[in-house]
Chain A
Amino acid sequence: MDARDHKLTNFSSKDFEFIAKRSREIGSPQAIIDVIPYGKFIGVEASVIENEIQYTMDRKKTNIGNPSLPAIHGGVIGGFLELASAIESIYVLEINAVPKVVDFSIDYLRPGRYKKMYASCTVLRQGRKLINVSSNAWQENKKIPVATARCHFLVP
C-alpha cells in the first residue's frame, strides 16, 4: 500500500492501523511516512539508528525560502519537526492512529543552509490525554542545532 502517488481514495483508519503496526514489526518508521504525502513533498525520510529514530530532510529546490542566501524556508523546518514529532509518537508510543496536533512552538537558532537536515525527537510526557514531544533539527553537527521545537498532541 503506498499513498505516495496520491492514491488516497479508500484509505481507511484500518489501513493506517495496519501500516503503523507493520512499521514496528519491520522496525521501519519510514513505512508510516510513506503513506503521508506531505513527507514526500518536503523529502523526509526516517531510519532507526542505535535505538533512536533519525529523520532526514533532503536538499530540495522547493524547500527554499530565501533564494538569495539560499536558505531553507522556516516553515518547512517547522513542518519537518512537526511531522517528525507525529511519527515519533505513532512509532514509539504504539499509537495506531494519526494524533491530533494541539499546538506547536518553534525557536529558530540559525539559518537552515541549503543542505541536508537532520532531526531527532524525544517524547517528554505521555499522559492520558496529551503527549508532549520535543524535537531538534541540525545540519552538520548535532551539537549545533538549527531549530528546536515543542509539540502537543491529543491522544487519539
Chain B
Amino acid sequence: MSVDLKFKLFKSAMKLAMERTGHGAALGLKLTKVEKGLIEMIFPYKKEVIGNPITGVVHGGVIVSLLDTCCGCAAITVAGFATVTPTMDLRLDYMQPAEPEKPINISAKVYKNTSNVVFCRGVAWQSDMENPIAHCVATFMKLSKKK
C-alpha cells in the first residue's frame, strides 16, 4: 500500500476514534485538519462543561482535554502507525478566559520528533489565533504496540 493511501486510511480512523468514542464524543469535538505533525480541531460551546457558573465560561479542564487530545493526535501522525504515544507531561498557560457561547479552535504542531520522545506545542483560540486563550507544551513517549 502506498504511504499516501495508508495515511488517508489512518486519517479517517483517527477522525472516527476522536469524534465517535469516549471523551471526544462527549465533548462533541470535530477534527478539521489532519496532516503530518499538524492537527486542528473545533469545540462547540457546551453548557454541560461550564466551570464558572457566574459567567458561563467553560472549565479549564476542558481546555486541558482539548489540547491533550490535539497534541496527542499530532504526535501519533509523526510517531508512526505501529506506536502508541502516551502523554508524559503537559504544561498549560492560560492567557485569558474563553468567551462563553462561542466555539473554541485548537491547533497542535509537532516541533521535534526524536527516537523516543515527541515534543508538541498547542494553542487554543476563539476569534484570533494571535490572541489565544491558552498555550501548551506537551511531551509524548513513543512505545511500540504490544502484540
Contacts and interface: CB of A to CB of B under 8 A. Distances in A.
Give the dominant DSSP class at A's interface: mixed
Interface of B: 17, 21-23, 25-26, 47-54, 56, 58-62, 64-69, 72, 86-94, 97
B60 A82 contact: yes
Given A16-B53, A61-B22, A105-B89, A78 B94 contact: no
Contacts of A36: 50-53, 59
A11 B22 contact: no
A13 B93 contact: no
Interface string A88-111: 000000000010111111111001
14 contacts: A12-B54, A36-B51, A40-B48, A61-B22, A62-B22, A65-B69, A73-B22, A74-B68, A74-B90, A79-B61, A79-B62, A80-B61, A82-B64, A108-B89
Nearest to B97: A100
Contact of A73 (B23, B88, B93): B23
Interface residues of A, number: 43
Interface of A: 3, 6, 8, 11-13, 15-16, 35-38, 40-42, 61-67, 70, 73-76, 78-80, 82-83, 98, 100-108, 111
